[in-house]
A and B are shown apart, each in its own frame.
Chain A
Amino acid sequence: MLIWFLPAFLFFLLIGLPVFFGLLAAPGLLLWLNGQEKDITLLYRNVYNGMDSFPLMAIPFFMLAGEMMNRGGITVRLVEFSQALMGHLRGGLAQVNILSSILFAGLSGSAVADTSALGSMLIPAMEKEGYSRKFAAAITAASSVIGPIIPPSGIMIIYAYVMGESVAALFLAGIVPGILVGVGLMVMVRLMADRYELPPAQRVVLTGTQLGKTEWWVSFLLVRLNVGLLLWAFMPVGAEASAAVQWGLLIGALVIAHFLFIGLRRVVSHDFRMVCKRAMVPLQTPILILGGILAGVFTPTEAAAVAVAYAVFVGFFILRSLSLRDMPQILANAGITSAVVLLLVGAAMAFKTVVSLSHAPETLAGFILNLSENPLILLFLINLLLFIVGMFLDAGPAIIILGPILGPIFTDLGVDPIHFAIIMSVNLTVGLATPPMGLVLFVAAAVSKERVETIAKAILPFLAVEILVIFLITYVPAISMTIPRLTGFAQ
């Protein structure tokens, strides 16, 4: 009898009941009809226990850091930096749009924020350069899905929590797939640039800019520290080397990094350097987050809090683009948005209890294995299912609902849980840009003032690329698993 909670839930969902209530109403109703009233109390308890979690705190923190960075005017700097690197190519601004999304992904992890922040800046600029509005909106929406794939990522925190996986492992596993989506889109833009004669753009739009003293020194130090530490990390020194040797090598690496940049000064123009320096401070955020987690200094939650502190430091003391007056609104936005997600996760944990009580995964596993016993075919079918679900439901709720049901089945079939998490996350994230319910399509339509249907048609070539990448990720586990394995976060 209890297995009927799934169709009941699906019915509630399809008639439009908010997912939070559906996750509780369907199992609650079935438990009541089954005479298991006491277990309804268990549902409530699990909502509370599901929310009372330290790892989940990373969600409001990353949202807050992203919101502050965004309000602090970093979007302009990232776009200028991307333009300095890729603007001169054919289809320059479209390439800039994609690269900006990749960089933005390391700061915010939200496709919606990406579309709205980059779209409001780049869509009018692209139109001015002769791109059609629908193309500009489509590439903005298509590239924004990189946001939740490259860390930090809200949906990966949710998946990790609901499924008991390591947040750090999922973050690391998302890096290459995210970049791959970006590279795929860049190749498609390049092909379209030849066909539709998409123009290159001016490479450096900012001339004669000087940085403030604080920002100049901070970026001066950051760039040398990053490159110096990278050089030091790759130096062939055994762990048994004394502290004095280690320090000596570190200082040596910093000196090499310094002279490297002195040498580079002669190669690039002053304006180009200024654009790069202006992007240095915001681009430190993902390095701080991932570096801290990888070095074992922070947990992902602590890294998220440090990201907030860094955003405060950048916004108030370096860029000086934030004021205390902005803070209540920023905090309220981050709080309200996270509250909805946290409630959903709590309800998902309650739902998960009923999933196990009902033996639904076993029943569904039997059904799925009846279709085929070949994991490759099953992965193909599951990708189809996820893609269809993604067309109607946002990635977060879809992960919350499907993760506990599908995850154990594929783990039993021998698919690595982290690999499956990435397949699911990337597929459902791409669903954010698919009609009829793609969230970012609506945001792109609002930002560009173009009709959703028109953007939905223009986005098709880019969706084809993203589907190709999903299958690549599915059938080549090394794409997602190499970094977590190399860093010891996966086996």
Chain B
Amino acid sequence: MGGLLSVLAPIGFVNEFALRIGRAIGVVAIAVMVLAILIQVFFRYVLNNALPWPDEAARFCMLWMTGLMAPTAFRRGGFVAIDMFGRSLPSIPGQILSLFLLVISLLVLVVAIGIGWGEVTGFGGKFTTASLYLPTSLSFDDWFRIPRSWMMASLLVGVILLTSVNIELILRGIVTLMGGSDRLRPIDDVEMLGSE
């Protein structure tokens, strides 16, 4: 148990730290999304000049917001599931079932990492975005066209973070199964509304 806890502690710390940064970036991303769409509305209807970039910039931010914030929801138990069967089982079989489900999730995530890496570094990622540029000089003379792989990396990063959270949850599950739940640091909870 001690060994498990000593492995779990750094993973938990890293996850907490990474997800906090992810949430901070996600907060900025959602604010930028709103701003980009409002700029689009203003330019199109007030100035009669449709800009090419706000749509793509907002989608860029939404993808990163999803990739960086979904792992927080997963860690806090916010992924929708029917947990009636597990809850109806006695404690030990219920915990074993939870572990089994986490292992299935891990398999899905590991496969997704492999595919995601191939996608980001492969053919599809070599294209550029249609309208997103970054200035590469202070005088704004030189611009760098953002590659599509930067957008595609959002899902890959999300899947990697989900995997890291999943491993932490598996370790927590094993510790709980071994009767050490009182030695686990609680994960903070939030109100999850869902689409309903």
Contact = CB atoms under 8 A, between A and B. Distances in A.
B80 A394 contact: yes
Interface stretch (B101-109, B138-146, B171-179): B101-109
Given A333-B190, A335-B23, A337-B192, A305 B41 contact: yes
Contacts of A298: 41
A341 interface: yes
A154 B190 contact: no
Interface residues of A, number: 77
A45 to B, nearest CB: 7
A342 B34 contact: no
Contact of B62 (A20, A56, A397): A56
Contacts of B165: none
Interface in B115-130: 115-116, 118-119, 124
Interface of chain A, main secondary structure = helix
A40 B111 contact: yes
Interface residues of B, number: 61
A21 B194 contact: no
B73 interface: yes
A340 B196 contact: no
Contact of B82 (A51, A64, A393): A393
B29 A335 contact: yes
Interface stretch (A75-83, A366-374, A429-437, A469-477): A429-437
Interface stretch (A107-115, A171-179, A189-197, A457-465): A107-115
Interface string B38-54: 10110001000000000
Interface string A277-291: 000000000000000
Contact of B196 (A53, A57, A155, A436): A155
A332 B104 contact: no
A331 B31 CA distance: 8
A52 interface: yes
Nearest to A305: B37
A306 B37 CA distance: 8
B23 A332 contact: yes
Interface stretch (A7-15, A84-92, A198-206): A7-15
Contacts of B192: 336-337, 340
Contacts of A19: 79-81
A453 to B, nearest CB: 15
B26 interface: yes
Contacts of A341: 194-195
A47 B117 CA distance: 14
A188 interface: no
Nearest to A341: B195
A60 B101 CA distance: 29
Interface in A326-346: 328, 331-344, 346
Given A24-B108, A155-B195, A60 B80 contact: no
A51 B62 contact: yes
B81 A16 contact: yes
A228 interface: no
Contacts of A135: none
A328 B40 CA distance: 24
Interface centre among B27, B37, B98 (most CB of A within 10 A): B37
Given A16-B86, A48-B155, A52-B151, A395 B108 contact: no
A57 B33 contact: yes
A340 B58 contact: no
Contact of A44 (B55, B98, B119): B119
Given A154-B196, A336-B69, A41 B81 contact: no
Given A17-B105, A20-B79, A113 B193 contact: yes
Nearest to A23: B108
Given A15-B85, A333-B190, A52 B23 contact: no
A226 B58 CA distance: 32
Given A57-B59, A309-B38, A21 B195 contact: no
A40 B190 CA distance: 33
B70 A339 contact: yes
Contacts of B134: none
A439 interface: yes
B97 interface: yes
Interface in A22-77: 24-25, 28, 40-41, 44-45, 47-48, 51-54, 56-57, 59-61, 63-64
A301 interface: yes
B152 interface: yes
Contacts of B5: none
B30 A331 contact: yes
B59 A335 contact: no
B105 to A, nearest CB: 5
Nearest to A108: B193
A25 B59 contact: no
Interface string B82-95: 11111000000000
A297 interface: yes
B170 interface: no
Contacts of A343: 66, 70, 158
Interface centre among A21, A52, A64, A112 (most CB of B within 10 A): A21
A165 interface: no
Interface string B16-27: 000000010011
B80 A16 contact: no
A25 B37 contact: no
Contacts of A436: 84
Contacts of B62: 51, 56-57, 60, 342
Given A57-B33, A331-B27, A437-B82, 7 more contacts: A16-B85, A18-B80, A45-B124, A51-B66, A298-B41, A306-B41, A339-B69
Interface of A: 12-21, 24-25, 28, 40-41, 44-45, 47-48, 51-54, 56-57, 59-61, 63-64, 110-113, 116, 147-148, 154-155, 157-158, 297-298, 301-302, 305-306, 308-309, 328, 331-344, 346, 392-397, 429, 432, 436-437, 439-440
13 contacts: A12-B104, A14-B85, A18-B101, A19-B79, A41-B115, A44-B115, A57-B33, A57-B59, A59-B195, A305-B33, A335-B23, A340-B79, A396-B194
- A-B interface, 9 closest residue pairs, ranked by CB to CB distance from nearest: A154-B195, A396-B195, A305-B37, A18-B79, A339-B69, A339-B70, A44-B115, A18-B81, A331-B27
